Structures are given as structure tokens and as C-alpha cells.
């Protein structure tokens, strides 16, 4: 891996993930630049970095989400690349584009892949084209109440309404009988509009009591893509994961291979590069369905690192620098 392809990287984040990225950079001999808001002046990530730049007041919209200030900080300090961490701007295609336009390397996927897989509707349509199983449902562009109601009746109950641009359970409603449908649709769209500025929803048949299994994928710019096995995250509270474990206690070897192959196939269909996570629902009968993709490093990435014996952040940096993956799926 070309560990010295970058001499300096700016981390566009704070807290634990910023410190984690700095550790990887330090091991590679790469200098780091922290950005911080006025509220984080004494934060650990500021003290750990080789350089630190104040980018604005405490509100994230005026600091950690301010693309122009972050780009300016990178250029002023001579950083060649920006690692977004997770959260904040990590899944914003316009930030990845802004980096490229400024002559900076975005350590993450291409903007087009972020946009494609960031739309749950578009991602599910691509999954179907790539032969990756998806739950029966409706993902159409027509969003009139009458059409959504007709499609809900076609899909059948129990039914799940989900925000296309959503996550974290926002804009989601489970509907078990037709009498609850209209109120659920209205509530889901209202919540999605408030949370994401987009009230588009899609419908899918509710898989009851599923397991939630996610597959870590890693792809380079040379056409190589591998999966690094699964993380089981079925123990959740209010759609937020509480416990992640690997290997999954229920996956059979042939299920693991099939789910991993599906994740790789979908990543390649999306033109994906760098680290990402494919999420699946595993039904009681052993069938699985694509749920969504997280186009970034996840909070839970250390679980995969412990199981696979790799440093995902260092691999992200190497891939962004143009390196090929140093291993194959067979390895």
C-alpha cells in the first residue's frame, strides 16, 4: 500500500472517529489536520492533531457542515486529502464533488455512488437489476395518495412505509391493517419532509421478526471488490443498533457466501469505490433481502477489523491514493 502517497490529511470530523483516523495516519507517517468549532477548542481530537483550524461557532451548520470552511482549511494547511469520518458530511455527494473541484482527494466513494446508493428507492431498483433480493414492494416515482394506497393494497399487509431519503427510523411506519394505512402514510411523509426535506416514500412487505445482518465491502478503483464478512446487529432499540457481533450466530456458511456475493455484486453495479456497508434483513426461513447501503465507514467498523485482521481506515487511505486491494476474496 502506498502509505506515503499523502503527506497530510484533514479530518472533517470530531470526537472518537477523528482520533481513530489520526491514529491510522500516524502509523502511516501522514500528518493530520483537525478542524474544530469554538465549543471544541479543547477537545481531544484538536490536541491529537499535528495542526488544528477553527472553522466556526458551535452550531454544526456553521462549522462541521460548512463545506467552504472545511475546503479552505484543507487548502490553507496544504492537506492533499480529506477524510470525512462518519456523520456530518460523510454521505454528502456535494462535499465529495467540492473536494474534487478544489483539487483535494475525498477519502470515500465517488459522488455518483453516494447519490445512487443514498436514495433507498434507486438503490433497491439497482439491487433488483443486479439480481440481489429485495422485499416485495413499491418504489415508483408517482407519490400521489391514491397511487400509494393502491400499491399498498397490492403489496399486502403487514406493510412497511419508509422514507426514501431516510434513516434511523425517521419516516417509517409499520401498518398491519388497511384501516391504519392513510394515517400512517400521512404521518410518514410529514416526518420525512421535516427530517430530510423530501417526503418521498416507498412501500415494502414487512418481514416480521427478522435478523439484521450487514456486510462490510471494500472496493478499489481497479475493479476489485471484496466483502469482509458480516456484522449481526439485530439487537436494537428504536431502530438504533445496540450490539454488533461477528460472526453472526445464525448464518450458515452457504448463507454467508450468498449474502457476501450479493453485497459485492451490488457494490460493483453501483461503481462503488472505498469502504461501505450493505445491510440485509434475514428472514426466519433463511431468505435475505437488501435493505440499504451506508456509503461510508461505520461506527461499528472495529468489529470487522477484529474479525478480519485489517485496518479499514488505512485501507481507505490507500485506496483513495490509487492502490489496488492487497488481498482477494480467496485470501
Would you name the residues annotated as active-site residues? 296
> Distance between CA 214 and CA 293 in Å, rounded?
9
Q: Are 219 and 273 in contact (CB under 8 A)?
A: yes
Residue (of 129, 103, 122, 99) closest to 111 by Cα position: 99
**To which H or E segment does residue 5 belong?**
none
> Distance between CA 298 and CA 304 in Å, rounded?
10
**To which H or E segment does residue 186 belong?**
helix 181-196
293 Cβ neighbours under 8 A, 6+ residues apart: 117, 123, 266, 267, 270, 276, 277, 278, 279
Rounded to 5 degrees, what are φ and ψ at 157?
A: -115, 150
Q: Are 204 and 162 in contact (CB under 8 A)?
A: yes
Q: Are 249 and 184 in contact (CB under 8 A)?
A: no
Residue (of 119, 77, 79, 117) closest to 99 by Cα position: 79
Query: Per 3-state DSSP, what percentage of the chain is helix, strand, and coil (rounded to 5)?
Result: 40, 25, 40
From the CB of residue 273, how many other CB atoms can be counted at a distance below 10 Å? 21
61 Cβ neighbours under 8 A, 6+ residues apart: none
How many Å separate Cα 60 from the centre of its chain?
20
Helix (H, G, I), strand (E, B) or coil at 277: strand
Q: What is the DSSP letter of 62?
A: G
> Distance between CA 262 and CA 22 in Å, rounded?
33
Amino acid at each position: 500500500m502506498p502509505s506515503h502517497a499523502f503527506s497530510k490529511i484533514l479530518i472533517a470530523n470530531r470526537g472518537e472517529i477523528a482520533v481513530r483516523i489520526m491514529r491510522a495516519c500516524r502509523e502511516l507517517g501522514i500528518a493530520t489536520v483537525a478542524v474544530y468549532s469554538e465549543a471544541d477548542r479543547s477537545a481531544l481530537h484538536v490536541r491529537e492533531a499535528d495542526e488544528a483550524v477553527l472553522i466556526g461557532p458551535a452550531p454544526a451548520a456553521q462549522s462541521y457542515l460548512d463545506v467552504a470552511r472545511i475546503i479552505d482549511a484543507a487548502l490553507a494547511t496544504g492537506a492533499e486529502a480529506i477524510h470525512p469520518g462518519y456523520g456530518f458530511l460523510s454521505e454528502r455527494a456535494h462535499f465529495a464533488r467540492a473536494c474534487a473541484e478544489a483539487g483535494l482527494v475525498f477519502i470515500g466513494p465517488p459522488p455518483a455512488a453516494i447519490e445512487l446508493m443514498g436514495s433507498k428507492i434507486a438503490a433497491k431498483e439497482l439491487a433488483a437489476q443486479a439480481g440481489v433480493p429485495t422485499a416485495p414492494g413499491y418504489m415508483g416515482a408517482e407519490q400521489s395518495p391514491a397511487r400509494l394506497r393502491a400499491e399498498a393494497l397490492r403489496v399486502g399487509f403487514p406493510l412497511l412505509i419508509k422514507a426514501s431519503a431516510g434513516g434511523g427510523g425517521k419516516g417509517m411506519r409499520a401498518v398491519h391493517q388497511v384501516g391504519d394505512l392513510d394515517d400512517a402514510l400521512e404521518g410518514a411523509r410529514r416526518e420525512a419532509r421535516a427530517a430530510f426535506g423530501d417526503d418521498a416514500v416507498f412501500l415494502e412487505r414487512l418481514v416480521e421478526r427478522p435478523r439484521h445482518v450487514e456486510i462490510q465491502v471494500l472496493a478499489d478503483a481497479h475493479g476489485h471488490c471484496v466483502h469482509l464478512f458480516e456484522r449481526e446487529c439485530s439487537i436494537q432499540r428504536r431502530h438504533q443498533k445496540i450490539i454488533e457481533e461477528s460472526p453472526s450466530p445464525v448464518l450458515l456458511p452457504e448463507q454467508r457466501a450468498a449474502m457476501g456475493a450479493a453485497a459485492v455484486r451490488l457494490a460493483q453495479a453501483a461503481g462503488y469505490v472505498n469502504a461501505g456497508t450493505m445491510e440485509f434483513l434475514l428472514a426466519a426461513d433463511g431468505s435475505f433481502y437488501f435493505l440499504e447501503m451506508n456509503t461510508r465507514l461505520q461506527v461499528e467498523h472495529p468489529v470487522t477489523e477484529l474479525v478480519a485482521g485489517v485496518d479499514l481506515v488505512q485501507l481507505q487511505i490507500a485506496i483513495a491514493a490509487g492502490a489496488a486491494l492487497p488481498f482477494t476474496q480467496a485470501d
